[in-house]
Structure 1
Amino acid sequence: MSYDDDVEADAGQEEPAREGRARRLLGPSGPLARAFEGYEDREGQLAMADAVERALDEDRVLLCEAGTGTGKTLAYLVPAILSGRKVVISTATKALEEQIFAKDLPLVAEYLGLHVSAALVKGLGNYLCLRRFDELRTSPEAHHEAGVMRSLPVVEAWARETEVGDLSELVTLAESDPIRREVCSSSETRIGSACPFFEKCFVTRMKREAEEARVLVVNHHLFFADLSLKLGRGNVPGAGALPPYDAVIFDEAHELEDIATEFFGTRISGSRVDSMLRDADRAFIASGLADRILGRGEGTAIVALVREAADRFFAAVARVAGEAAREGRVELKREVWAGELVDAYHHFDEALEALAGYASAHAITEAVGLVGTRAETLRTDAAKIVDGKSNQVTWVEVRARSVSVGASAVDVGWLFREGVFERIGGVVLTSATMTAKAGGSGAKLGPSERSPRASDDFRFLRTRLGLDERLTVPVDELVVPSPFDYASRALLYTPRDLPEASDPSFLAASADRIVELVDIVGGGAFVLCTSNRSMVALGRALAGRVPGPLMVQGQAPKRMLLSKFRAAHHAVLVATMSFWEGVDVPGDALRLVVIDKIPFAVPTDPVVVARSQAIEQAGHSPFATYTVPQAAITLKQGFGRLIRTRQDRGIVAILDRRVRTRGYGALLLDGLPPAARTERIDEVKAFWSRLLAEDSA
């Protein structure tokens, strides 16, 4: 589709001059202002639209922090559509991805006259795999396993009706139901054009729509899955999960480093092996290599051998890691790969080799051949972890149902510099939280880290994402403050009278103070915790002590918890990191946000330790240049849950006294919105009483 056919710029008017086209559409004389009575144009939104337009037109990189309420989504969508280029819009959360596709793009089309072909592209794991679904229906589990027998009819009924095959439509099936893993697509299970279900495949349809669309709405996980495939195959045409594109806009860009680290690392787990072996059993049965009733055959015997070897390997890894691995990731040093552990690894490798050989020799169907491919991939990934290499740290994590072992990159700056900014050209990174100040000894960047264009506010993000003097693409920076009246509508409460966060009495004292705060506002509270342990403990400590419903993350799916929270109006929700960002509860249902501790990264996490050591070896302070700025961005995200519209109001409480008593506390507080501030609970009561009086007047 041509540019002229694809885009109408403000129907009824002449085509605007190229300079400031988005500004004309979004400004005070544009169609939005004419369509909505009382429409307020936002100069910050217009400035951002200008900057995005320039970045896309001139192949520049733009870093833009756009505070809550600035209208950043329209500020990048309108220039993206007007650019005439094929643009990827990448977000961190499925919720924002769906909002852009289902709400914002239709709004742009209806009120601005900008009609563009767009596709919502999710990761393969979101779609029903018709082949795996068919194999499950004919497997022994379908007739003998209670869980499968209970859930399979639900999936079957939905599969007959669905048009897109998105498993999120299965709202009557718990998000944790194991059957979802058994019937979803993935890069490991997808066969391609040789699959008998290829033409009916939901992923095939999605990929074709993506080829034809000019705006692709994706999430960061899919973007980096695509990038890893493209870079791994020399950027050849057709490689990757996405079709070729001309530019990319990253919303929620503060999450990029963590997600890229995940996708450019290597992980194997007991769950991953089990999934492959279950698929192997079904493929052997479906192809006649194993008895359909008894499930017996040479292939199934090899599957049992792999399962035994995997159990031995992961058990050995867990023993080496010790109890500490149950609290989080633990580093595996090079010297641990000896004795029992290395013997278990070789046994595991040999069993996988036997399975790969058998499947390849008996590949009478594509599904059987795929078993061999997956077994070889597991061998390769395990070897990468065991062999080790520079710029990576190896770790293990032990959970209730599975052990994981992996290797993560210490530095991904090269990836962004060479794989994103230099390769793509027009790149926009935006979020409500991108800037952070650093302080203390060694806080200044060295010559190799600083670009002439770098400001202090963006330097943390620049150093983490490879935006240094080696980059040849020009970089622009823009900070757009929120238009909300934080000074009169929000109060930041930071008490000094609670025990230190490390004191055993902190939990009980925090629970008491949370009860006081909830009583003041009458509920409608998020209690955001920095760890699962704190979340569970505070949930228990608050039980029976708050006036409204008490909810704890994990009791129900996230979407259901949020729905119940909004409806209750006076509920208290205790949650951990997944509720710190990407959660939108506008209105009076949320009027109190409590943060238990400063959200420092886990200091013992192997990746954090390795990155801190690298910073220290470069002559800088890891705490000042990495730990504090990272915490500042997360803290801003937590604060940002409170005020989502101009009418919102409320209180944010940070119970960790270190924000008042430690030197770095001032840096953390300086990065927060300009709300009124107090250390006294009686002033919290007075503030809330004033708000109630003003709003009822």
Structure 2
Amino acid sequence: MSFVAERLHSVLAGLPRFEERPQQVQMAMTIERALAETVHAVIEAGTGSGKTMAYLIPLLAHSERAVVSTGTIALQSQLMDKDIRFLASQYGRPFQYAVAKGRMNYLCLEHALEADRVLPPAGEDRTQLDNVMTVWRSGGWDGDVSTLPFKVEGRLWRQELTASSDECHGSRCRFFAECPYIRARKKLETADIIVANHALYMTDVSTGGAILPPHKIVVFDEAHKIESAAVSAFTVQVGRYATRSLLRRVNRRLKEFPFTLEKALADADEQFLTWAEKSPPGSRRLFKDTRLLDVAHGFTEVLEQVADDIRKTPVEHLELFADTPESAKTEAAACRDSLLAQTQSLQSRWQHFAEVLSAPDASDFVQWIEVQEAGSRNEGPLYYLNSAPLDVAEFLGENLWPHKTAVLTSATLATGGSMDYVKGRLGLLHSMDLALPSSFDYTTQCALYCPNGLPNPNTPTYNTAITAVLVPLLQKTYGRALVLFTSYKAMREVAAMLMEANLPFPMRTQEDASRPRLLSWFRGEENPVLLATATFWEGVDIPGSTLSCVVIDRLPFAHPNDPVVQAVVDRLKAQGRDWFNEYSLPNAILSLKQGFGRLIRSRQDTGVVCIMDPRLMSMPYGRVIRESLPPAPIVRSLEAKEIQRLFPG
């Protein structure tokens, strides 16, 4: 037995109901070998395989700093608060661990002081600011917004209480020594295990390692989320909020900001608004647009003038909060540099749009406008321009994989029995690949119900038809169901029809409360029914009989109107490639496996997964999908013996 296998056994053997899991041992030994040989490992490991300990123990045994990156903040918190804390108590030798979060998760004392000077003496913002500063001065809070004992409105936090990298004064800030973000970063320097998330990690990669301490080893848990995190990290975004934020800070800090420049900025913003107002809510792909190009050029020019004015601003024209002449001198330089960085960042983003919108061939990027409904304090809808790379494989292939030893693991990495799709999208050419068999017996623990007689999902009566199937199914399972939809519209229509059916089960939709509250409600009920969309396809962990039925309304092909999907498909078509089998189908399989995985969470769980979409059985590609799912017996009727065995009542 290898050292890692022995250590794994010694750490876990004292747990109640401990069982040796061959999959866990195999995964740990594969990672041990990968680290020793400095090769990448791609490992599909389902629920119940014990993958967290299977990668943590080899990391510690290797005795070299490592980063564990998660796809969600929820898993990041679970690792810190539960898994690593347990391991620290059982491992047999001490080790240091720390969490890595982005700068805007932390209180900026400079901005908080500025807000204290300028906010009205009464009102909700003032009350929340005073509460935050009271907690900070008590010494019992580390400045992380997630650990505040009360909720702060997101708008107030972003605008007044935290700072972006552009706004930060860095080492010249008078609060540098007590800065919550800097304190958190210092903890990373001595950590053996750093727990980050994909968004932060990809930002670190895109900035050449400016965020995380030097390291050679990284584990990506929830690795199926790497590509979307990379695309987000490399996306250029600009909107009206950025302009208003700059104007607000300039007016606060520059005593004599020229009216002509303020008006020029406001005029450019109004020109953008006039153009953007023609877009309906949602997302719309952008092509060559001369009016938007004029907006981009206008912003680029006026922001250059603003930057020049900031450079020339004398110290006496800056609004400073320092108490001594010496500290005022330091603050003045830091303040000027911060305003300049914020201005130049906004200018570079508009310059990017000016370049891609005027380039004869910008097929490597896709641009779109995103329109969000107004919040309670906004004057109107929020408009954002986005420009994203269509392919992150080349960037990751040059800037990540050659410089690290990486372990990628998730319950959903393989499509058609191969990791090639995910590896290709990520530019990962060479790795040890391992698909671990499930520790669950799907042939006896669940059934896959594919109802007979349903129409094509594109027919107008589809939602009515699936509701007619759903009612007797919920009666058979006594509720206890998570019903997953690919659109809000379908969820709302089916929810309305189910309400009319007067089923004797408590029912809620995703729109009735926050995700944590809905999951808490679900766990506390005896026969709950929850209707939800995309965010509930992943990360829902409800073991036991409370969740005995998962329903999926249709195969989760990406929406054809999604700007990024449109652009990727167009690019593949232009290259003469099979866009459906190379892109759309593998993506749908990975999403479907995530949804399916909500049901069986332990060896004691039983239940049924119902996929309503008839294409799973009728279309040629349905076989590829079925072969990628867990090997549950497929039934076409509620009268099937497998259903009767699982639900005998």
Q: Residues 692 and 664 (structure 1 numbering): CA distance in 2 closer, same or farther, change over 3 Å?
A: closer
2:459 maps to amino acid: D
Contact kept? 1:182, 1:275, Cα under 8 Å: no
Which range is displaced more, 531-540 or 207-216? 531-540
Q: 1:592 to 1:245 in 2, by over 3 A?
A: same
Give yes or no for contact 1:270–1:311 (8 Å, CA) kept in 2.
Answer: no
What is the CA deviation profile of residues 384-416 of structure 1, one whole-angstrom value per residue up to 9, with x for unaligned ones? Answer: 122114511222222223111121111111122
Asked if the contact 2:635–2:642 (Cα under 8 Å) also holds between the matched residues in 1, the reply is no
Look up the SS of the partner of 2:247 in the other structure.
helix
1:566 alignment counterpart: 523
- Give the Cα separation in 2 of the matches to 1:164 and 1:657: 53
1:615 CA drift (Å): 2.9
Calculate the TM-score normalised by the size of structure 1: 0.83
Kept in 2, the 8 Å contact 1:152–1:179? The answer is: no
Cα 1:38/1:143, change in 2 over 3 Å: closer
**CA distance in 2 between partners of 1:76 and 1:254 (Å):** 17
Equivalent position of 1:522 in the other structure: 478
How far apart are the structure 2 equivalents of 1:50 and 1:492? Answer: 33
Question: 1:67: Cα distance to partner?
Answer: 1.3
Aligned to 2:438, the other structure's residue is in SS state coil
Compared CA separation, residues 523 and 143, structure 1 to 2 (3 A): farther
Say whether the 8 Å CA contact 1:250–1:430 is kept in structure 2.
yes
Counterpart among 222, 241, 266 of residue 271 in structure 1 = 241
1:428 aligns to what SS in structure 2?
A: strand
Residue by residue, what CA displacement relative to the aligned partner does 1:479-516 show, whole Å, maximum 9, x if unpaired? 11220122222121111322221111112222333333
Change in CA separation of 1:198 and 1:551 when aligned onto 2, cut-off 3 Å: farther
Distance 1:682 1:36, change over 3 A: same
Where does residue 3 of structure 1 map in the other structure?
none
Say yes or no: does 1:100 pair with 2:79.
Answer: yes
Find the aligned partners of 2:128 and 2:498 in 1 and give their Cα distance: 35
Q: Report the CA distance between 1:628 and its aligned residue.
A: 0.3
Question: Residue type of the partner of 1:521?
Answer: T
CA 1:552–1:185 in structure 2 vs 1: closer, same or farther (change >3 Å)? farther
Residues 276, 576 of structure 1: alpha-carbon distance in 2 compared, 3 angstrom cutoff:
farther
Take 1:691 and 1:526, find their aligned partners in 2: how far apart are those partners?
17
Match of 2:265 among 306, 309, 315: 306
The change in CA–CA distance for 1:181 and 1:673 in structure 2 (over 3 A counts) is farther
Change beyond 3 A, Cα 1:395–1:31: closer
Find out whether 1:26 has 2:4 as its counterpart.
no
Amino acid in the other structure paired with 2:227: E
Partner secondary structure for residue 639 of structure 2 = helix
In 1, distance between residues paired with 2:527 and 2:107? 38
| 3-state SS, counterpart of residue 30 of structure 2 | helix
Q: Which amino acid aligns with 1:601?
A: A
Tell me which moved more, 212-221 or 605-614: 605-614
**Aligned counterpart, 1:203:** 181
Q: Could you tell me whether the CA contact under 8 Å between 1:81 and 1:114 is conserved in 2?
A: no
Please tell me whether residue 678 in structure 1 is matched to residue 635 in structure 2.
yes
Cα distance in structure 2, aligned partners of 1:556 and 1:127: 26
Q: Secondary structure at the match of 1:682?
A: coil
Distance in 2 (CA, whole Å) between partners of 1:538 and 1:276 is: 45
Residue 183 of structure 1: CA displacement? 1.8
Would the alpha carbon gap of residues 535 and 693 (structure 1) be closer, same or farther in structure 2, given more than 3 Å must change? closer
Residue 551 (structure 1) aligns with? 508
Paired residues of 1:496 and 1:660 also in contact (CA < 8 A):
no
Q: Cα deviation per residue 1:231-252 (whole Å; 9 max; x = unaligned)? A: xxxxxxxx51111111111011
Per the alignment, residue 333 of structure 1 pairs with: 287
CA offsets, 1:126-180, max 9 Å, x none? 222222222222223x436x54245334434443454322212246426756445
Query: 1:200 and 1:126 mapped to 2: Cα distance?
Result: 16
Q: Show CA shifts across 1:53-111 (max 9, x none).
A: 11112210111001111001111000011111110100100111111112111222222
Distance, in Å, in 2 between the alignment partners of 1:197 and 1:494 is: 61
Counterpart position of 2:354: 386
Task: Name the structure 2 match of 1:462.
Answer: 423
- The 8 Å contact of residues 528 and 579 in structure 1, kept in 2 or not, is answered as yes
Asked whether the 8 Å contact 2:31–2:41 carries over to 1, the reply is: yes
1:390-405 residue pairs with structure 2 within 5 A? 390-400=363-373, 401-405=381-385
Distance 1:637 1:304, change over 3 A: farther
Select between 597-606 and 66-75 the one with higher mean Cα deviation: 597-606
Unmatched tracts of structure 1, length 5 or more: 1-18, 231-238, 291-296, 438-455, 469-473
Q: 1:150 to 1:649 in 2, by over 3 A?
A: farther
Deviations along 1:408-467, one digit per CA (max 9) or x if unpaired, are 11111112211111122x111110000002xxxxxxxxxxxxxxxxxx611111221113
2:468 is equivalent to residue 500 of structure 1: no
Once the two structures are superposed, residues 528-561 of structure 1 have per-residue CA deviations (whole angstroms, 9 ceiling, x without a partner) of 1212333333344434644343333244332222
Q: Is the 8 A contact 1:490 1:650 kept in 2?
A: yes
CA spacing shift, 1:81–1:333, aligned 2, 3 Å: same
Corresponding position: 1:634 with 2:604: no
- Give me the identity figure in percent: 34
Asked if the contact 1:531–1:576 (Cα under 8 Å) also holds between the matched residues in 2, the reply is yes
Quick one: distance in 1 between partners of 2:259 and 2:55? Answer: 53
Aligned 1:395-544 pairs, distance under 5 A: 395-400=368-373, 401-424=381-404, 426-437=405-416, 457-468=418-429, 474-543=430-499
**Partners of 2:167 and 2:415 in 1: how far apart?**
42
Say if 2:546 is the partner of 1:583: no
Report the more deviating stretch, 367-376 or 252-261.
367-376
The whole-number CA distance in structure 2 between the counterparts of 1:68 and 1:258 is 22
2: CA distance between counterparts of 1:672 and 1:123? 36
Residue type of the alignment partner of 1:225: T
For structure 2, the 5+ residue unaligned runs are 319-331, 357-361, 374-380
Residue matched to 2:646: 691
Equivalent residue letter for 2:23: G
Deviation at 1:636, TM superposition (A): 0.2
Q: 1:143 maps to what in 2?
A: 121
Partners of 2:615 and 2:127 in 1: CA distance? 51
Specify the alignment match of 2:164 in structure 1: 186
Change (3 A) 1:166 1:586: farther
Q: Against the structure 1 CA distance between its residues 354 and 61, is the aligned structure 2 distance closer, same or farther, given a 3 Å change threshold?
A: same
Q: Of residues 605, 623, 627 in structure 2, which corresponds to 1:648?
A: 605
Contact 1:126 1:185 in 2 (8 A): no
Q: Which residue of 2 aligns with 1:236?
A: none
Query: 2:294 & 2:11 partners in 1: Cα distance?
Result: 70
2:143 counterpart residue number: 165
Q: Which amino acid aligns with 1:436?
A: T
1:313 shift after superposition? 1.2
- Deviation at 1:353? 2.7
- How far the C-alpha of 1:618 sits from its partner, in A, is 4.0
Does 2:108 match 1:129? yes
Aligned to 2:24: 45
Q: CA RMSD in A?
A: 2.4
- Distance (whole Å) between structure 2 residues aligned to residue 44 and residue 520 of structure 1: 34
For 1:152, the aligned partner's letter is L
